[in-house]
Amino acid sequence: MAKILCVLYPDPVDGYPPTYARDDVPQIERYFDGQTTPTPERIDFRPGELLGSVSGELGLRTFLEGAGHELIVTSDKDGPDSVFERELGDADVVISQPFWPGYLTAERIERAPKLKLALTAGIGSDHVDLQAAIEHGVTVAEVTYSNSISVAEHVVMMILALVRNYIPSHQWVLDGGWNIADCAARSYDVEGMQVGTVAAGRIGSAVLRRLKPFEVGLHYTDRHRLPPEVEQELGVTFHPSVESLVSVCDVVTINAPLHPETENLFDEALLAKMKRGAYLVNTARGKICDRDAVARACESGQLAGYAGDVWFPQPAPADHPWRTMPHHGMTPHVSGTSLSAQARYAAGAREILECWLDGRPIRDEYLIVDGGQLAGAGAHSYSPGDATGGSEEAERFTAG
Ligand code: NDP
């Protein structure tokens, strides 16, 4: 019997939804590169239900308890008195989502001697100290591709929202105004702009594909270059360095994982190399940007706008400067947890658990760490080390 400890975000303030805005979600069978969507033996939920919050339980309870395992689900994840901390000591598996991350620091891994699997229901396993996972033989797996397109759609939305000045214009309507000049004084067309992505993996290349019809100049930088035929098809210019990319772009979108190479990449110096009045959209991870340098750049006008859904730590404390800096379009971490995405990553979490509990191999593309080293998707896109430093600050959050 295994003990599975699952950290999920709290239910809606009005309670778990009895009904939904739509009756179904489209069924996707394959992703753009041909990879199949998750293939668990079965699922015990209806796609389109809220699965990522505590009462949704990722649809796992019937399956796990039916097989004799123990499932504990909590949103109480930060601080020494949290349920997460109390239950961790004899857990075999920890499941967490990046939206409401159960930070698995080296200290916590040390205090969980039975821990064998850290499963990310979603994409991005930087909330786990990967170095400690490597050293303790903990397997880290995530549901690769499950919400990449969800994020790519969000990136396009945020670029348009910033450049066209959508959010302040909407606010004038809510305030009862008709202030056209106020709305127009910061509003531009995306057409003709130079747009660049830092990383052209699943999300970054999907953003390029979606932006091509907007008749913009497309740019990217990445550790590995895209095949020449893809560069040609998209008409995208490769930059060997992020400095080169930001120096020519009006809009920059960050789509790389957080690991030691990318932590604090957008610091004061790099922001200063961007064009004055550039827009920065970060749906990758908050820690890739220097928090205070971004806030200063929004105040000085070096950035015309900043948007994204990722913060550090999560949840962000009430006094986090990105809540109040000018010209931002921030949301809580939501882009990868649409109801459509939840159906895929809940099914993927089930697939990974079925494999692990049966002693069958987990799909290679789902692996980040395995056998004491970076593996699968992790070996391609991460570097060894830890990016969880400072996560204890999440304890400062109190729900508003
Ligand atoms: P992929 O693994 O498909 O793509 C990541 C890309 O980043 C790879 O092409 C990788 O390069 C590249 N990369 C890694 N390090 C660097 C670096 N130092 N400089 C430039 N490029 C680099 O992942 P996805 O596109 O699906 O997701 C990317 C990230 O987005 C996730 O790791 C996660 O942090 C975030 N995300 C956010 C979500 C949200 O809800 N906001 C949801 C899902 C993901 P290569 O492999 O060529 O070495």
> Do you find a cis peptide bond into 332, omega within 30 degrees of 0?
no
DSSP 306: E
Phi, psi at 195, each rounded to 5° = -120, 130
> What is the Cα 2 distance to its own chain's centre?
28
Direct distance between the N- and C-terminal alpha carbons of the chain, in angstroms, rounded to an integer: 39
**Position 126, amino acid:** D
Q: Taking the model in full, what pTM does it have?
A: 0.97
325 lines ligand 1 (CB under 6 A): no
Catalytic residue (choose from 333, 344, 350, 363): 333
Instruction: For residue 333, indicate whether it is catalytic.
Output: yes
Neighbours of 14 (CB within 10 A): 6
User: Residue 398: pLDDT above 90?
Assistant: no
Q: Return the beta strands (E) in the chain as ranges.
A: 3-7, 70-74, 93-96, 117-120, 139-142, 194-198, 217-221, 236-238, 251-254, 278-282, 303-308, 328-330, 367-370, 373-374
328 is catalytic: no
CB 92 within 8 A of CB 113: no
Q: What would the pLDDT profile of 248-293 be if each residue is shown by its tens digit?
A: 999 999 999 999 999 999 999 999 999 999 999 999 999 999 999 9
Nearest CA to ligand 1 atom 5: 201
For tokens 């309507």, the residue is: 173
Q: Read off φ and ψ for residue 259, nearest 5 degrees.
A: -155, 175
The answer to whether residue 399 scores a pLDDT higher than 90 is: no
Reported as a single tens digit per residue, the pLDDT across 222-233 is: 999 999 999 999
User: Of these residues, 97, 282, 302, 314, which one is catalytic?
Assistant: 314
